[in-house]
Chains A and B, each alone.
Chain A
Amino acid sequence: MSGTKGVSLGDPRPAEVGRLIFERSTACARCTEMPPLDVPEIDLDAALAQRSRRDAPLLPEVTEVDLARHYEHLASVNFGVDSGFYPLGSCTMKYNPKVDEVACRMPGFAGVHPYQPLSTVQGLLELMHGLQEALGEISGLPHVSLQPAAGAHGEFTGLMCIRAYHEANGDARRRVLIPDSAHGTNPATVAMCGYEVTTIPSDERGGVDLDALEAALDTDVAALMLTNPNTLGLFDENIERITAFVHGVGALAYCDGANLNAILGKARPGDMGFDVMHINLHKTFGTPHGGGGPGAGPVAVTEKVAPFLPGPVVVLSPEGFRLVAPERSIGRVRSFYGNVGVLVRAYAYIRAVGGEGLRAVAEQAVLSANYLKERLKGAYDLPYDRPCMHEFVLSGRRQKRENGVRTLDLAKRLLDYGVHPPTIYFPLIVEEAIMIEPTETEGVETLDAFADAMLAIAEEAARDPEALHAAPRSTPVRRLDEARAVKDPQLRYAPPCLD
């Protein structure tokens, strides 16, 4: 990863680029064959009330070799954490331990049905109970539902619990406060939960503007949703006052747990005065992102919100582990009990690392982020120059103004260095934002190579801006015509003869 030589993904054979599995099809080719039917043949039309299918769906007809090679090719043009450094801010792309993949595939976890008698799944229920307890201890919010399938699903769940809490007090409220640095899911969740968004500006140190917060707070406010550390990677120093203000008008404080990795074992949202939080297991607890999912977004709450959690939760009774719906539950937010395969991975991670290990995770994540920040703050603007937590946000505005090079160009050039670019253009309050989260699982050599690449690109921006506009050059495909994708949407394979 030195100099300007691209060492990213291999150069695929041109004929393979974009070739669909449908286009590998050969009539009557088969991979999986069924054993001969061992019960009497059935008249499908009669059995299915004359509703049997006439025209077979157009699926690929391929052999196992075709499949193996097709997906090997697709893997070869895809970049994951195992491929290289992935400092995608706010996403916590840490290494995913292989033992977790072994764990979730154990037959006693993968091969059990959600409705089999609970006496036959005590091992898995014990694991889920253990995970509930661990997340309660880590967050300082002791009551946990493992049901939500993702972070945004956790936000929805948490906010619905808050809604139910207020309604139970006969207290219909209409607004939720969100800082201007928030993730887009926060306002979208607020709208889904039937509330209106009030945006709170950030102050010059990057925290919540206390005057604006006080001015916005009244008894019509149901909650404040806050990410802490926030999306600038900064810990809000006024957190106790913020949650006290919120509680002062009878509202609840919701913590977006996206950045929990920074404070594991160092501070707990429950102790900061938060009432509800979601925890992204696929970020903090090392479960893989799967190219977009599955993740898991358990919700942890205080005693007073606990009765409203979605059911069921796992409880330990004299007869063993049982599934129980909380007393005034909002009801399910999905079928069954959650993304259990992901819960198993997270449990395995927590057990492997241990309590002290989690603290070390946060410490190294924060040290590595500060280290990179120091190495890069000369070459790029640093809008909030103070110690960061697990991530920090640079601005490419200097390069934009002086060299006509945008942050998008810088990011695309990084691809030629074999690095996944940081998060860009977020948070919205930073012009040409570059949000970098190294995580604790990267060695110094990797961090230095990344810093060298970023410095080299800053130099290139000054020397040869055109080269950056043309980046990347060494990737399997280059910049895409995204406008065409919207104006002329091609969203599925259409066979040539039918189109």
Chain B
Amino acid sequence: MYPSDLKYAKEHEWVRVDGDTATIGISDFAQDQLGEVVYVDLPSEGDEATAGDSFGEIESVKSVSELFAPVSGEIVKVNDALDDAPETVNEDPYGEGWMIVVKLSDPSQLDELMDSSAYEAFVAEEA
């Protein structure tokens, strides 16, 4: 349920590192808590993400949650496909449901994140 090649934040975002870039999405636990995702409001390419700050919003029919950046850096790719198919976040949270790709400005921030077993324990406590 929580792939071991990813890093996780307390706000339930995941990070997949590939060289100096990081792909960001939300965890399976987060999508399940939200229910059916109907809208994802994402930033534009070229915007800056700052670790701990909001980079967008995600909505179900009757809730709205902020998306927090786990790491800082310039946003180099945005998953525009979520505009037409926001439910992809529910169906494939670690794959096609990704949200943004960031060019890491401070790779040391990755050390602050949890690995999959730590995140699993964190989620078990929250639930």
Q: A contacts B directly in the complex (CB < 8 Å)? A: yes
- The interface of chain A, by Cβ under 8 A from chain B, is 482-483, 485-487
Query: Shortest CB–CB separation between residue A92 and chain B, in angstroms?
Result: 24
Bound state CA distance, A487 and B39, in angstroms?
7
Bound state CA distance, A487 and B60, in angstroms?
10
Interface centre among B59, B60, B61, B87 (most CB of A within 10 A): B61
Q: Give B57-75 as 1s and 0s: 1 = Cβ < 8 Å from A's Cβ atoms.
A: 0011100000000000000
Task: Indicate if B93 sits at the interface (CB-CB under 8 A).
Answer: no
Number of A-B contacts defined by CB within 8 Å: 15
> Which A residues are CB-close (under 8 A) to B87?
483, 487
Bound state CA distance, A487 and B40, in angstroms?
11
Bound state CA distance, A392 and B42, in angstroms?
41
| CB-nearest residue of chain A to B84 | A487
Bound state CA distance, A486 and B60, in angstroms?
9
Bound state CA distance, A242 and B87, in angstroms?
47
Query: Shortest CB–CB separation between residue B36 and chain A, in angstroms?
Result: 5
Q: Give B14-40 as 1s and 0s: 1 = Cβ < 8 Å from A's Cβ atoms.
A: 000000000000000000000010110
Number of interface residues of B (CB under 8 A): 8
Bound state CA distance, A483 and B60, in angstroms?
8
> Which A residues are CB-close (under 8 A) to B36?
483
Query: Shortest CB–CB separation between residue B44 and chain A, in angstroms?
Result: 22
> Which B residues are CB-close (under 8 A) to A486?
38-39, 59, 61
Query: Shortest CB–CB separation between residue B97 and chain A, in angstroms?
Result: 15
Bound state CA distance, A485 and B38, in angstroms?
9
| CB-nearest residue of chain A to B61 | A482
| CB-nearest residue of chain A to B35 | A483
Query: Shortest CB–CB separation between residue A211 and chain B, in angstroms?
Result: 27
Bound state CA distance, A36 and B59, in angstroms?
55
Query: Shortest CB–CB separation between residue A287 and chain B, in angstroms?
Result: 29
Interface centre among B36, B39, B60 (most CB of A within 10 A): B36
Bound state CA distance, A485 and B87, in angstroms?
14
> Which A residues are CB-close (under 8 A) to B61?
482-483, 485-486
Could you show 6 A-B contacts with beta carbons less than 8 Å apart?
Answer: A482-B61, A483-B60, A485-B61, A486-B39, A486-B61, A487-B38
Bound state CA distance, A485 and B36, in angstroms?
12
Known: A486-B38, A487-B39. 13 other contacts (CB 8 A): A482-B61, A483-B36, A483-B38, A483-B60, A483-B61, A483-B87, A485-B61, A486-B39, A486-B59, A486-B61, A487-B38, A487-B86, A487-B87
> Which B residues are CB-close (under 8 A) to A487?
38-39, 86-87
> Which A residues are CB-close (under 8 A) to B38?
483, 486-487
Bound state CA distance, A482 and B36, in angstroms?
10
Bound state CA distance, A350 and B43, in angstroms?
54
Bound state CA distance, A166 and B17, in angstroms?
53
> Which A residues are CB-close (under 8 A) to B60?
483
Bound state CA distance, A483 and B85, in angstroms?
12
Give the 4 A-B residue pairs with the shortest CB-CB distance, closest first. A486-B38, A483-B36, A482-B61, A487-B38
Bound state CA distance, A374 and B38, in angstroms?
41
> Which B residues are CB-close (under 8 A) to A485?
61
Bound state CA distance, A166 and B96, in angstroms?
53
Bound state CA distance, A418 and B109, in angstroms?
57
